[in-house]
A = this chain, B = another copy of it.
Amino acid sequence: METLLLSKHNLQTLVARVGLSTFMSEMIDRLTHTLINFDEVHTIVPQRSGFNYQVPYPGVLEWMTVMQAGKSAHVKVVGYNPSNPSLRNLPTILSCISVYDIQSGHLIGIADGTFLTALRTGAASAIASRVLALPESKTLGLIGCGAQAITQLHALSLVFPLKKIRIFDINDAIAGDFLKRAAWLKLNIEPAPLPELVAESDIICTATSVEVGRGPVFADRGLRPWVHINAVGSDFPGKTEVPYTVLQRSLVCPDFTLQAVVEGECQQLKNSEIGPTLSEVVKKADKFSSACHRMTVFDSTGYALEDQAAMELLLNYAHEFGIGNFVQIECTTGEVHDPYAFVRSSDSSETDMPQTEKVVAWAD
């Protein structure tokens, strides 16, 4: 009964070996495949649930779960604490993902979910944009230059011939810093006043920590009639980023409708105003091919199916490269009716009971 533990160092080794852009490309491909093959009979995705709190600082700890019937379940526990950067020198989002064998309940693996969350959020926007934005989109506008911005840009740069990226953050220093963070992409990135950014962009990504009730984060003025918006930041009741009038004129595609009407841009809409899900759009890309000529919004609240795809990709690489540590966590023995048996076995010489956990750092 071993659990594959991927440490931060393991992920460093693994991602360095794969290469960030290959990793993101594979993430986009895998998630596309997952969305195309998604069906609600074999894949159960409950709405996320969690603890919301205001004291001492506002935040959320929530669990996002998904089950592949008869196979596995992924549980991502994710903290969203906007006070993290300033108070704790930590990212707003911190997360771990664990995978369970659904038939036995065994913990198969555990790894960081912070990196994977950023990665899959970028990939989801790229997939939505590939279906809903103009294929020849050249100008990208990023509103909000925090932790989610780089993976939005990275993923979109892999599927569009971007010539110009305009960025904006309410904090100039964070926008300035983004130029350094994104330098390795060798793209043409420039800070811009918000109205200019909005007017020039073929694709816009909003990824802000705007407070509840303080949205939208840009005005409905001068938008290109074919603009596609990836609305990434809204993930909490009352938190929205996109003006209502923009949503009204757009085809709005949520990742997960039940969740989007509670936490996403869809909070602002009646059910009749909400379009097909990302999965439906990707499955029927032909049917939606003309949508690129009109305004469209991907309402990205974060979807456990995306986390599953990301974790599967990571574990596949780990197995392929032999990276990771196998640890025995669960206190099981052959004596299935005795929860105390593992204690006695520690000073016995039973060969089926290793004296120490097997910690194998394969190639890593």
* The residue from B51, B174, B354 contacting A9, defined by CB atoms under 8 A apart: B354
Shortest A78–chain B CB gap in Å is 7
Q: Which of A143-151, A231-239, A270-278, A284-292 contacts B (4 or more CB under 8 A)?
A: A143-151
A93 vs B145: C-alpha distance when bound (angstroms) = 45
Name the B residues within 8 Å of A149 (CB-CB): 337
A177 vs B347: C-alpha distance when bound (angstroms) = 21
| A320 sits at the interface (CB 8 A) | no
A110, A335, A338 pick with most chain B CB within 10 angstroms: A338
Count of identical protomers in the assembly: 2
Is B107's CB under 8 angstroms from A77's CB? Answer: yes
* Majority-rule SS of A interface residues: mixed
| A88 sits at the interface (CB 8 A) | yes
A118 vs B341: C-alpha distance when bound (angstroms) = 12
A100 vs B113: C-alpha distance when bound (angstroms) = 14
Name the B residues within 8 Å of A336 (CB-CB): 84-85, 89-92, 147
Q: Chain A 94-123 against B: per-residue CB contact (8 Å), 1 yes, 0 no? A: 111010101111110011101101110000
| A322 sits at the interface (CB 8 A) | no
Is B115's CB under 8 angstroms from A342's CB? Answer: yes
Name the B residues within 8 Å of A111 (CB-CB): 329
Is A329's CB under 8 angstroms from B15's CB? Answer: no
Is A331's CB under 8 angstroms from B112's CB? Answer: yes
Which parts of A153-182 form the interface with B (CB within 8 Å)? 154, 174, 177-178, 181
| A211 sits at the interface (CB 8 A) | no
Interface size on A, as a range, is 35 or more
Given A5-B5, A75-B77, A334-B89, is A16 in contact with B105 using a C-beta cutoff of 8 Å?
Answer: no
Name the B residues within 8 Å of A77 (CB-CB): 75, 98, 100, 105, 107
Name the B residues within 8 Å of A148 (CB-CB): 339
Name the B residues within 8 Å of A53 (CB-CB): 67, 69-70, 102
Q: Chain A 123-160 against B: per-residue CB contact (8 Å), 1 yes, 0 no? A: 00000000000000000000001111111001000000
Q: Chain A 275-317 against B: per-residue CB contact (8 Å), 1 yes, 0 no? A: 0000000000000000000000000000000000000000000
Is B330's CB under 8 angstroms from A8's CB? Answer: yes
| A81 sits at the interface (CB 8 A) | yes
A65 vs B63: C-alpha distance when bound (angstroms) = 10
A44, A119, A331, A338 pick with most chain B CB within 10 angstroms: A331
* The residue from B12, B78, B342 contacting A343, defined by CB atoms under 8 A apart: B12
**Interface positions of A (Cβ within 8 A of B):** 1, 5-13, 15-16, 20, 44, 46, 49, 51, 53, 55-57, 59, 61, 63, 65, 67, 69-70, 73, 75, 77-81, 83-85, 88-96, 98, 100, 102-107, 110-112, 114-115, 117-119, 145-151, 154, 174, 177-178, 181, 327-332, 334-343, 345-347, 354-357, 359
**Shortest beta-carbon contacts, A-B, top 9:** A79-B105, A12-B346, A118-B339, A94-B105, A8-B328, A7-B357, A115-B331, A85-B336, A112-B331
- 26 A-B interface contacts by CB (under 8 A): A1-B8, A1-B90, A8-B329, A8-B331, A8-B332, A9-B354, A12-B342, A12-B345, A12-B346, A51-B102, A61-B67, A61-B100, A77-B107, A81-B103, A81-B104, A85-B337, A91-B337, A94-B105, A94-B107, A95-B105, A115-B339, A115-B340, A117-B339, A181-B337, A181-B338, A181-B341
